[in-house]
Structure 1
């Protein structure tokens, strides 16, 4: 029988935080931008976790699997996010741990993928589609697959970053922690924010940003000829600060990146350090505030 998906390529720089206990839904409901009650076994969700000042500490894919909620996020943030979430547990019946489950990147080849709300199922894994046929796979600890090569981890990580950038999906890392409110990285356009649920950390700032006029910064996709571009790098417009790089990945001709840009600077000649010009590239969803530029 032909394989229905590519061998999982382990993402060594990604982790899953496992949240268990009878109060896990209500606990995360008070922390994340997403309505956690809508996260069902066949309905994963994109979410953000913000500080009290409304600045994103992380973005995460939130999955319900095997009587637990999992937060999939970059490994560099996992320990600190777990520690800081633990501070809010108090008397709730909630347990937090960095899961031994592996996070991998796969490509699904099956004719009948049984894709339900961007997730696939198997007895020992949870697969969440990032874009097109590609997905993140959360596998049960101890599940083995043939090795995909010594550099598979680096290759998979670059591939995932390329997919997220092309899809306009923000991934917060250490250089951009607490740099953006959720709307700046388009979480509201990606259904990553619930404006109808109850209070959560940073909710007052997020709601005020949404309700008190036009959002002044948004995330856009760009290309450039430079290759050494990193999250947190400044974007300039004629010597003025215009924005910040969210993430970037090297391509054959330079790099592709996502950057949060001040809307009143969007029509200018945007550059990186060294006067490297940025060229707009399309996102797969509309950004309403771009219409006037």
Structure 2
């Protein structure tokens, strides 16, 4: 649990959630500007003379694209192509890379990667001394520019220096993430509150759902192919790089069209949040999918991301006793090469 949040005036519900007394936080993010401690995310650093070469053999990202400007999505897989974690990858300095992912997977990924890092001049460090703060809303970009003295970067790009990084993420409202030393976070938080309202990190997680962006959690570690969370449609897989762990299975699934499950976005007809891993069933009570993310929206209805069968007509669906209404994803389900994202800056 990150101690820097104790000075913020919020209530820690558990290791992954924090809340504030702010009324209707999800609606406020639509109508105004909000800030949130992103306590559900964590940071893993890899550094050393061989750090880039080491990660090139493990990550789905083409490491040369992580150039200190473009900060690509990536994933780490087992030899069978199942994801151990997915992350955003930053180059902090020559020979120094940073990965932002779900905090529940940082330690397990570090343990996994250390087995291979022993053969390289590369070290892994879990960065519990860093804070992640999200800014969402109409004036989020202006707020970030004023408080960090940085021009907000394009989506999936980075700005800043070795101490503080600013990242732009997709979503229904403009939103940015700041990564900075935890000791500086309380003072920065106070300055942000001069122009924004504090909200719990459920608002950021809701925006991830609405962006069709799934961050793997321990509930689905070593269970899903990257394509099952649409990772190639978000530019999270380079099909132009050489080998990496799991690459053969991931490439075969893509080129042979063997992905039988896909990420979908949906709204439920009630305010009950299903647990991660909850079954989605059809009219005959047959399991056709499972929930991998869930949050309440501005109307107190549950919105989810789920990995579902790719069969076209599944009929009426239910989860946790609630009707499932499928929603449109904000991106096409087709391959998006990170090389294209890096070149266009979009």
Whether the TM-score (by the shorter chain) exceeds 0.5 is yes
Which whole-Å CA distance do the structure 1 matches of 2:216 and 2:104 have between them?
Answer: 10
Cα pair 1:165 1:248 within 8 Å, conserved: yes
Cα pair 1:23 1:93 within 8 Å, conserved: yes
Question: Taking structure 2 as the reference length, what is the TM-score of the superposition?
Answer: 0.75
5+ residue gaps, structure 2: 1-32, 336-346
Q: Which residue of 2 aligns with 1:49?
A: 76
5+ residue gaps, structure 1: 1-5
Q: Which residue of 1 aligns with 2:210?
A: 166
Q: Which residue of 2 aligns with 1:191?
A: 235
After TM superposition, the structure 1 = structure 2 runs for residues 51-70 of structure 1, keeping only pairs within 5 Å, are 51-67=78-94, 68-70=96-98
Q: 2:40 aligns with which of 9, 13, 37?
A: 13
Which whole-Å CA distance do the structure 1 matches of 2:334 and 2:281 have between them?
Answer: 22
Question: Taking structure 1 as the reference length, what is the TM-score of the superposition?
Answer: 0.87
Q: Return the structure number with greater helix share.
A: 2
- Say if 2:274 is the partner of 1:242: no
- Any idea what SS the aligned residue of 1:264 has? coil
Q: 2:259 aligns with which of 175, 191, 215?
A: 215
Which whole-Å CA distance do the structure 1 matches of 2:93 and 2:181 have between them?
Answer: 10
- Any idea what SS the aligned residue of 2:132 has? strand
Cα-to-partner distance string for 1:29-81 (whole Å, 9 max, x where unaligned): 11111112211111001111111111111111111124421110111111111
Q: CA deviation at 1:141?
A: 4.5
Which whole-Å CA distance do the structure 2 matches of 1:177 and 1:266 have between them?
Answer: 28
- Any idea what SS the aligned residue of 1:207 has? helix
Q: 1:283 aligns with which of 319, 325, 329?
A: 329
Cα pair 1:242 1:265 within 8 Å, conserved: no
Moved more, 9-18 or 41-50: 9-18
- Alignment length (residue pairs): 280
Q: Which residue of 2 aligns with 1:3?
A: none
After TM superposition, the structure 1 = structure 2 runs for residues 262-281 of structure 1, keeping only pairs within 5 Å, are 262-264=309-311, 266-274=313-321, 276-281=322-327
Q: Which residue of 2 aligns with 1:105?
A: 134
Q: 1:277 to 1:12 in 2, by over 3 A?
A: same
Which whole-Å CA distance do the structure 1 matches of 2:290 and 2:263 have between them?
Answer: 9
- Any idea what SS the aligned residue of 1:208 has? helix
Moved over 4 A (4+): none
Superposed CA RMSD: 2.5
Cα pair 1:103 1:136 within 8 Å, conserved: yes
